[in-house]
Chains A and B, each alone.
Chain A
Amino acid sequence: MPPIISISNLSKTYGSGFKALNNVNLEIQRGEIFALLGPNGAGKTTLISIICGIARLSEGRVTVDGHDIVDGYRAARSLIGLVPQELHTDAFESVWGTVSFSRGLFGKPKNPDHIEKVLKDLSLWEKKDAKIVTLSGGMKRRVMIAKALSHEPQILFLDEPTAGVDVELRKGMWEVVRRLQASGVTIILTTHYIDEAEEMADRVGVINKGEIVLVEDKANLMQKLGKKQLKLHLQGSIATIPPDLAAYNLELSDQGCQLTYHYDTKGERTGITSLLGDLRAAGIRFYDLDTTQSSLEDIFVSLVRAP
């Protein structure tokens, strides 16, 4: 099946000369949740803004379900719902009014049943007549999502959907996103929170300094992340690893005072129990141990710190 969004050789240079995006190539598959990670100023919002029509591209081409975002902007944009990062709302408008306005803006005929469903799904039904100014931050965020869903989009962009949102609401938001995906909506979310990407995404992309530096299936990434290290701090130093322990692929470091064992947490057996038994049998004693895991965050940090 062809990708629902196809970005090729996309660059964006602002009037000031700042190059926000540099030759970006990316494909978003139909029905997936794609998480775009990147530090502040990496180009996440610029990329979304271009696809949605808020900013102009300088070079390259973007198609949405086969429609060019410049020449076929009407068809392309009608498929997209956008939830921006900032809470931009008409403070004195009612929830019902602002969500209905969004539907009209996208050229869709009135459909009170659909608006009602969206508001109920987002637990906003009780507040439908409330003015937006009276709502809490979390509710305003949900109003933004309701506006984006008002015209039944096939693609939903969530730009930092859980920034500044408490833990409970974050989980609620994840639930909403999962339900949307189940209904066939393709979701692209940008986030600072690595665990959010881990929790939600089918694929993860990392953008830094306007360039896509990694796109990978989350499953593959998690496999890499599944590796852990066990470090044993020995009571005395040893010159070499005894031959009986050769099967464990141990590393000796810190002048013979530290042993490191790599294991896979996803594997059926980690081998830790037998290693500890064999160490005792070999007469190697240790006074402390710790385990470390390379997280998505480590990979992310190493990618974005690269020169």
Chain B
Amino acid sequence: MNFTAVRAIYKFEMARTARTLVQSIVSPVVSTSLYFVVFGAAIGSRITSVEGVSYGTFIVPGLVMLSVLTQSIANASFGIYFPKFVGTIYEILSAPISYFEIVLGYVGAAATKSIVLGLIILATAGLFVPLHIQHPWWMLTFLVLTAVTFSLFGFIIGIWADGFEKLQMIPMLVVTPLTFLGGSFYSVNMLPSGWRTITLLNPVVYLISGFRWSFYEISDVSVGLSVGITLMFLAICMVVVWWIFKTGYRLKN
């Protein structure tokens, strides 16, 4: 195991965050605060509580997940796409490092960034609404699992993309809609039964539901199912990444 190389990639990626602090940390915090103002204050004044939790408090886990999901994908996809775009990928490919070590460096850094971001957003939320986390360890487990899974997903997008348009396409057209329709701002139980069934096909529902359960012990689906679906998605991403390196897809041909 070439830990020095993993550390080099990890540190390089973390340094990129430091250089782009506004884009990486400040802007998600500002947009989350805006969500609180718009959803929490404007809509929250009409919906007093959801399943016994005040609306402002109810949306906190969904908002954290929204940012963690999108930032994991954005960080990891950009992290690997950019060296491809500017050509510096040659150095990664010609270094004595295994594919696993490459993934560990890039995905590890992207996941770290979104976990830190998630915690910052949680702290920001604490300024607007009272927070109480029933199962902090489960909360962290869901946070880490989601950050790692979606960083892997972002890594795949970054390898697949051969232009900036493709890099943005999946996050914009697939992930953002799924996140908004995944129960960030409402309980799935509030939907008519037909829509509820359709919503349950959305994998993000399971992530948000499990995460919210760790806060308030209320969930749309069982916690076991949430963990199971997250792990399944993680496994699928791992298989795809393994295939990418095995075949050299978009990297070595």
Residue numbers of A with Cβ under 8 A of B are 14-15, 52-56, 73-78, 80, 82, 84, 86, 88-92, 97, 101-109, 147
Taking CB atoms and an 8 Å cut-off, the chain B residues in 81-99 that contact chain A are 86-88, 90-98
Partner of B94, one of A52, A75, A90: A52
Is residue B5 contacting chain A, with contact meaning CB distance below 8 A? Answer: yes
With A15-B253, A74-B96 known as contacts, the answer to whether A109 contacts B4 (CB < 8 A) is yes
| Alpha-carbon distance A104/B15, docked complex (angstroms) | 15
Q: Does B138 contact A (CB under 8 A)?
A: no
Say whether B93 contacts A54, CB under 8 Å.
Answer: yes
Write the chain B residue with the least CB distance to A80. B94
Q: Of A14, A54, A75, A107, which one neighbours B4 at CB under 8 angstroms?
A: A107
Q: Pull 19 A–B residue pairs with CB atoms less than 8 Å apart, ordered by A.
A: A14-B253, A15-B253, A53-B93, A53-B94, A54-B90, A54-B94, A74-B96, A77-B94, A82-B94, A88-B88, A90-B86, A90-B88, A91-B86, A104-B5, A105-B92, A105-B95, A106-B96, A107-B95, A108-B4
Contact B86 A104, beta carbon cutoff 8 Å: no
Instruction: Name the 5 nearest CB pairs between A and B, nearest first.
Output: A104-B8, A88-B87, A77-B96, A74-B96, A52-B94
Interface string of B89-133 (1 = CB under 8 A from A): 011111111100000000000000000000000000000000000
Q: Tell me the B residues contacting A by CB distance below 8 Å.
A: 2, 4-5, 7-9, 11-12, 15, 19, 86-88, 90-98, 248, 252-253
Residues of B with C-beta under 8 A to A97: 15
Measured in the bound complex, the distance between the Cα atoms of B97 and A177 in whole Å is 27
Instruction: Report chain B residues within 8 Å CB of A109.
Output: 4
Scoring B12, B91, B252, B253 by chain A CB atoms within 10 A of each residue's CB, the highest score goes to B91
Contact assessment for B96 and A107 in the assembled complex, using a CB-CB cutoff below 8 Å: yes
A56 touches B95 (CB 8 A): no
Distance between B204 CB and nearest chain A CB, rounded to angstroms = 34
Q: Total A-B pairs in contact (CB under 8 Å)?
A: 75
In the complex the two chains form, is B97's CB within 8 Å of A55's CB? no
Query: Which residues of chain B come closer than 8 Å to A74, judged between CB atoms?
Result: 2, 96-98
When distances are taken between beta carbons in the complex, the residues of chain B under 8 Å from A106 are 5, 95-96
- Contact A104 B90, CB 8 Å, known A56-B252, A77-B95, A77-B96: no
Contact indicator A101/B8 (Cβ below 8 Å): yes
Residue of A nearest to B94 (CB): A52
Residues of B with C-beta under 8 A to A84: 87, 90
Chain B residues with Cβ below 8 Å from A54 are 90, 93-94, 252
State which of B9, B11, B91 has its C-beta within 8 Å of the C-beta of A147.
Answer: B91
Min CB distance, A114 to chain B, in Å?
14
Shortest CB–CB separation between residue A144 and chain B, in angstroms?
10
Measured between C-beta atoms, what is the minimum distance from B95 to chain A in Å? Answer: 4
**For residue B87, which residue of chain A has the nearest CB?**
A88
Cβ of A300 to closest chain B Cβ, rounded Å: 28
When distances are taken between beta carbons in the complex, the residues of chain A under 8 Å from B87 are 84, 86, 88
User: When the two chains form their complex, are residues A105 and B252 in contact, meaning their CB atoms are under 8 A apart?
Assistant: no
Cα(A14)–Cα(B252), bound, Å: 10
Which of B7, B88, B93, B94 is within 8 Å of A104, CB to CB? B7
Residues in B with CB closer than 8 Å to A76 are 96
B91 engages A55 (CB within 8 Å): no
**Is the pair A107, B97 in contact by a Cβ cutoff of 8 Å?**
yes
Minimum distance in angstroms from A20 CB to a CB of chain B: 11
Contact A89 B88 (CB under 8 A): yes
